[in-house]
Amino acid sequence: MPRGVIERYRTLLPVTRKTPVVTLLEGSTPLIRAKRLEKELGQKGLELYLKYEGVNPTGSFKDRGMTVAVSKALEEKARAVICASTGNTSASAAAYAGRAGLRCVVLVPKAKIALGKLAQALVHGADVVAINGNFDQALRMVVEISRTRRITLVNSINPNRIEGQKTAAFEICDDLGVPDYHAIPVGNAGNITAYWKGYREYRAKGKISRLPKMIGFQALGASPIVQGRVFRNPKTVATAIRIGNPASWQSAVRAREESGGLIDTVTDREILSAYRMLASLEGIFVEPASAASVAGVLKLSRKKFFKKKRIVCVLTGHGLKDPDAAFKQVSPPRTVKAELKRVLEAIL
Ligand code: F0G
């Protein structure tokens, strides 16, 4: 029987028998060896694995955290949940809140959210408010609102979100063992925090005996952690990680320091190149932000950075989320008359 992450890892999560489990059977996502991409790396003999989180029920890794956050909100008799979002959190919150019978309010930056994500939040019945501002401003406002009203915040500063998201690290260890390097896009920095927590807990339980180096990647135009300063006006094609003042900044730095890893930048051009390579070489369609992990590994391998061989890249969200980004990378199909001769001319 398929199980969601709460049933699969119940003893490692903050739930009891009394917690009403709200699940869409998220998690248990594939870890896919990427042999054709391995050939494109600047170092020989590396093993590259892709944790494809885009196949979660709403198309991103957020579902792992949302099943826990919404189940706990329901247990605590909340009536409503609220979040700020670059898109995926809002889609996931809207879906799980809908299933739980809770009201869902989301604040998104106007015109900087991918079409599919906005469609999801609206169809799932969330109250969506677009602000003339960015994610960081939206987050400040929802934090304030949740402090003063009876409405549960489901951004990743809610510890239940991190608890749910750490299960992806458990799955990687269960499927592969401990990787040498764990590569991940960094936006608000909740996910790098969650994976690092997951790996450490699995070691404390004796399930693994060592830890991976955490290597995070921010888009150059939205790289506050790398540059050590807040970005007032973050810019990147990877709208999901267009964040200038990450809420989990300090814990991302801790994950980097404690693991002996790094947090580096990738350019939009590098992100889009990795995006096309994932789709054309491996058959894996991701949204631009997700390609940041692979872009980073391509960049570091060209500098012969890797001393050990086994690398896991997290692919955080599905490519169908952002059709506009896809169409900007390709030419439109040729149109011909509905005649065999014309079709043959077009394809030969
Ligand atoms: N990749 C995708 C596809 C995302 O949607 C996000 C974050 C990240 C990476 C970065 O993860 O914030 O934990 O460091 N999206 C949030 C949202 C901000 O609102 O959907 P992070």
The Cα 34–Cα 17 span in angstroms is 40
Position 236: which residue type? Answer: T
Alpha helices in 188-288 (DSSP H): 190-204, 224-227, 249-259, 268-282
C-alpha 65 – ligand 1 centre gap (Å): 12
State if pTM tops 0.95: yes
- Position 2 scores a pLDDT of 87
Ligand 1 atom nearest residue 87's Cα: 20
Q: How many CB atoms lie within 10 A of CB 203?
A: 15
Q: Tell me, using a 6 A CB cutoff, whether residue 191 lines ligand 1.
A: yes
The Cα 194–Cα 341 span in angstroms is 57
What per-residue string of b and e applies to 323-347 under the rule 16 or more CB within 10 Å gives b? eebbeeeeeeeeeeeeeeeeeeeee
Q: Are 270 and 210 in contact (CB under 8 A)?
A: no
What per-residue string of b and e applies to 112-149 under the rule 16 or more CB within 10 Å gives b? bbbebbbebbeebebebeeeeebbbbbbeebeeebeee
Q: What percent of the chain has pLDDT over 70?
A: 100
- Position 173 scores a pLDDT of 98
Q: Tell me, using a 6 A CB cutoff, whether residue 251 lines ligand 1.
A: no
Q: Among 222, 275, 220, 266, which Cα is nearest to 112's?
A: 222
What average pLDDT does this structure show over 323-342?
Answer: 96
Q: Are 213 and 182 in contact (CB under 8 A)?
A: yes
pLDDT digits (tens, 9 = 90+) for 75-101: 999 999 999 999 999 999 999 999 999
C-alpha 242 – ligand 1 centre gap (Å): 9
pLDDT digits (tens, 9 = 90+) for 224-251: 999 999 999 999 999 999 999 999 999 9
C-alpha 85 – ligand 1 centre gap (Å): 8
Q: Tell me, using a 6 A CB cutoff, whether residue 289 lines ligand 1.
A: yes
Q: Are 33 and 48 in contact (CB under 8 A)?
A: yes
User: Computed over its alpha carbons, how large is the radius of gyration of the chain?
Assistant: 20
C-alpha 155 – ligand 1 centre gap (Å): 10
Structure token digits, residue 16: 């009891």
Mean pLDDT over each residue of the chain, to the nearest integer = 98
- Which of 107, 241, 243 for a ligand 1 pocket mutation test, highest count of atoms within 8 Å of Cβ? 241
Strand stretches in the chain, DSSP E: 31-33, 47-52, 80-84, 103-109, 127-131, 152-153, 181-185, 213-219, 262-266, 310-315
C-alpha 348 – ligand 1 centre gap (Å): 43
What average pLDDT does this structure show over 169-180?
Answer: 98
Judge whether residue 289 has pLDDT over 90.
yes
Judge whether residue 10 has pLDDT over 90.
yes
Q: Are 194 and 314 in contact (CB under 8 A)?
A: no
Judge whether residue 61 has pLDDT over 90.
yes
Ligand 1 atom nearest residue 184's Cα: 9
Q: Tell me, using a 6 A CB cutoff, whether residue 239 lines ligand 1.
A: no
Ligand 1 atom nearest residue 287's Cα: 3
- Which of 53, 56, 88 for a ligand 1 pocket mutation test, highest count of atoms within 8 Å of Cβ? 88
Judge whether residue 155 has pLDDT over 90.
yes
pLDDT digits (tens, 9 = 90+) for 102-120: 999 999 999 999 999 999 9
- Position 1 scores a pLDDT of 79
Q: Are 70 and 93 in contact (CB under 8 A)?
A: yes
User: Which protein residue's CA is at the shortest distance from atom 15 of ligand 1?
Assistant: 240
Judge whether residue 11 has pLDDT over 90.
yes
pLDDT digits (tens, 9 = 90+) for 33-58: 999 999 999 999 999 999 999 999 99
